[in-house]
Amino acid sequence: MTLSEEELIRYKATLTTLQSPAEFEQIKDRLLCQDVFDVLPNLPDRCVDLMFADPPYNLTKSFNDRKFRKTSIDEYSEWLDSWLSRIVRLLKPAASVYICGDWRCSAAINRIGEKYFIPQNRITWEREKGRGAKSNWKNCSEDIWFFTVSEDYYFDVDAVMLKRQVIAPYTDQNGDPKDWSETENGRFRLTHPSNIWTDLTVPYWSMPENTDHPTQKPEKLLAKIILASSRAGDLVFDPFNGSGTTTVVAKKLGRHYLGVEIDETFCCLAQKRLKLASEDCSIQGYIDGVFWERNTKNISRKGKLL
């Protein structure tokens, strides 16, 4: 998905910022084009049910006009702390917090996250895109730390079941399928999701959700997190919204959203995606309430009788 010159001008004209303290009604379903450090003091206490943060990793990387520079682990930890500490006030007592990182910054996320929250898990997802290395292992995984504010948190495992093709179709002594079912499209088993996710595809050129954002997350990844850790109508907050994946998926799944992103072009992409989400709320890889394995698009399409 790209933006024409005309769209860029049109969407830029719709971008807004928050300049004074706001109530919940003023921030719900909004995208703020602003430095998150300027937004946080103006957000109300205890308004967020789920925060998903995908901050710049500890790498030298350009996000359009701005460059994030690799630094020491200690300095990166301090930077994490500088915004996370300001977010604690915004979270409801039963809120969940997810923070993304690669293997280099994962330890810092754990260290700083633990200062404020209860660590519940670390998800590792296979990020297949990436170059091979001559003298190192190819880097093709990322982490997402899962924290909660208290032990009284919401988690709906039934909403994030995985539909897997059955390789070994075991039967019981009566010859009936053991934990799997025969369908016109093949044999499938519904399994509980683990903390290793191998069913994601990083958006690439032919996927409708793909944009020019350099580190765009898959909609399917956000769908898992939002379905497991929020209810319909909850507020999902993303302080580093990028191309808008979190806000778009929250909207598709009937949650309220608040996204903050400093870059105007990325905000325009997010606006365009939000507009399209009003017309089409499908999420690639999530069909009929279950998540399908990678490369089962044709089967799942048949399953949906498309």
Ligand X SMILES: C[S@@+](CC[C@H](N)C(=O)[O-])C[C@H]1O[C@@H](n2cnc3c(N)ncnc32)[C@H](O)[C@@H]1O
Interaction site with ligand X (CB under 6 A): 35-37, 54-56, 63, 213, 215-217, 240, 242-243, 245, 260-263, 266
Q: Which is nearer to ligand X, 37 or 103 (CB)?
A: 37
Phi, psi of 164 (to 5 degrees): -115, 145
Q: Which is nearer to ligand X, 40 or 94 (CB)?
A: 40
Instruction: Count the neighbouring beta carbons within 10 Å of the beta carbon of residue 81.
Output: 16
Distance from first CA to last CA of the chain, Å, rounded? Answer: 23
Could you please report the per-residue DSSP string of 82-150? HHHHHHGGGEEEEEEEEEEE-HHHHHHHHHHHHHHSEEEEEEEEE---S---SSS----EEEEEEEESS
Q: Which residue has the closest beta carbon to ligand X?
A: 242
Across the strands, what pairs with 287?
A: 290
For residue 294, how many C-alpha atoms fall within 13 Å in the half-sphere facing its CB?
13
Output the smallest distance, CB 261 to ligand X, in A: 5
Q: Which is nearer to ligand X, 247 or 296 (CB)?
A: 247
Q: Which is nearer to ligand X, 127 or 217 (CB)?
A: 217
Output the smallest distance, CB 83 to ligand X, in A: 8
Output the smallest distance, CB 214 to ligand X, in A: 8
Output the smallest distance, CB 194 to ligand X, in A: 23
Between CA 150 and CA 24 the distance in angstroms is: 22
Output the smallest distance, CB 68 to ligand X, in A: 7
Q: Which is nearer to ligand X, 199 or 261 (CB)?
A: 261
